[in-house]
Amino acid sequence: MALIYIIEDDESIREIEEFALMNAGHKVLGFQCAKDFYKKIEELIPDLCLIDIMLPDENGNEIVRQLRNHSNTKGLPIIMVTAKTSELDLVKGIEDGADDYIKKPFSVMELISRVKALLRRTMPDKVKKLDLDGLSVNMEKHEVSIDGKTIELTHKEYELLSLFIMNRGIVLTREIIMDEVWGTDYEGETRTIDMHVKTLRRKLGEYGSRIKTIRNVGYRIE
């Protein structure tokens, strides 16, 4: 889906971020310091950056300012990752040019949700097609096919499938699914999700079994 750069000197945190985002279908490159990041971004500009504030060679806020002052990267989507939690620190990050921030410690689901939300705002036209082996979702034509053969889905089934594939390997809670597919103002029972997943599985044939039920939590597509 998207190319994401992570600048984080804590190896354990960086590995968690990389693993989570790759499982969500993104291509990810990680950097321990600003120097390596600057070298790479001269070769290829990513779709989004995750930048830690406390780095060994340069403060993350300064990296953001440098990116915003360069014509090639002034519009680059940026999420700051910070252990600083004071309102002043967070406001400063936004004023320096960050689009969003995540406070440490954070959950994998929060990371995925924040990245997804920012990408949705900044690159809405870049996602043209979603693929899961022989299962394909054409976002432009609003069509779903299996091994080249089109299958008919309802609007909600289509949105469910798209959501699952965009977050492949990630457990989506019923609350997140309800919010993304039905909207925050929808007052229906979460049982509605289960019924739609049941019909979606049937229509997907052998691919239906790849939608796994995570008991008392939600669903994940493998």
The pLDDT tens digits for 74-116 are 889 999 888 765 556 666 667 778 888 888 888 888 899 889 8
Asked if residue 89 lies in contact with residue 122, where contact means CB atoms within 8 angstroms, the answer is no
Q: Please tell me the CATH code under which domain 129-221 is placed.
A: 1.10.10.10
Q: What would the two tokens of residue 83 be?
A: 């252990």
Domain boundaries for CATH 1.10.10.10 within the chain: 129-221
The pLDDT tens digits for 44-61 are 889 999 999 888 999 888
d(CA 209, CA 199): 12
Domain boundaries for CATH 3.40.50.2300 within the chain: 3-122
Whole-model pTM: value is 0.58
Give the residue among 190, 222, 188, 185 at the shortest CA–CA distance from 207. Answer: 222
Asked if residue 101 lies in contact with residue 81, where contact means CB atoms within 8 angstroms, the answer is yes
Q: How deeply is 193 buried, as exposed, middle or buried, from its count of CB atoms within 10 A (0-12, 13-18, 19+)?
A: buried
The pLDDT tens digits for 177-203 are 887 787 654 555 667 888 999 999 999
Q: Please tell me the CATH code under which domain 3-122 is placed.
A: 3.40.50.2300
